[in-house]
Amino acid sequence: MHLFGYDMPRLHAALNDFPAALLVIAVLFELAAWWLKRESLRWAAIWTLWAGVVLGWAAVIAGELAEDVIEHGNAIHELMETHETLALTTMGVFTLVLVWQLWRRFAAPPLEQAILRVLSVAGLVLIVLTGMWGGKLMFEHGAGIPASTMKTEMQDREAGHHHHDGDADEAHEGQSAATSDSSTRPH
């Protein structure tokens, strides 16, 4: 299945940064509004929360569809299940906060506002955990990368990469300079 020219794994990858950023900013706006007693920050928090929840559910749906099409074994499957549970819990928390705000017409009593802030901070922690598990999937296990692509990449890496004369890696040059500099200094 393709949407906007993306298959589901790529669509999930394209979408997942938006809700993470928006929901983090929504929590920060909410905390700043409470701390500074600024109504403008409160409304910024509400609108950012709206956008984060809508895009968050879009990312979750794309992730659910991606799970069905990527090649994977047991290790990736277990990580995907944890990532999925964290993502659904995160979106549940932020959806609850938004629905509660809507139900109270954005004028909840102080105790309820405090509960919503605590839930939002818990959601913030869940966003970080969800991202960590998603990062493990991608960077430690190559989830979403077809086996044929990984095989080609592994062969390419085994062959190595050599820079042409005058095209040396700047990081390597900096390391060489630091090494030679420290070897000429008295200890």
187: in domain: no
Contact of 74 with 82, CB cutoff 8 Å: no
Which residues have C-beta within 8 Å of that of residue 10, sequence separation ≥ 6? 144
The two tokens of residue 129 are 């955990």
Contact of 9 with 116, CB cutoff 8 Å: no
What are 129-152's pLDDT values in tens digits?
999 999 999 888 888 888 888 888
* pLDDT of amino acid 24: 97
* Amino acid at site 168: A
34: in domain: yes
Cα distance between residue 1 and residue 8, in whole Å: 7
Range of the domain at 22: 8-144
- Average pLDDT in the chain: 86
The two tokens of residue 88 are 């659904």
More confident residue, 58 or 177: 58
Structurally, the chain folds into a number of domains equal to: 1
39: in domain: yes
| pLDDT confidence band for 187 (50 / 70 / 90) | very low
Query: Which CATH number goes with the domain that contains 38?
Result: 1.20.120
97: in domain: yes
Please return the burial class of 138, using the count of CB atoms within 10 Å of its CB with bins 0-12, 13-18 and 19+.
Answer: middle
The two tokens of residue 21 are 């950023």
Which residues have C-beta within 8 Å of that of residue 71, sequence separation ≥ 6? 146, 147
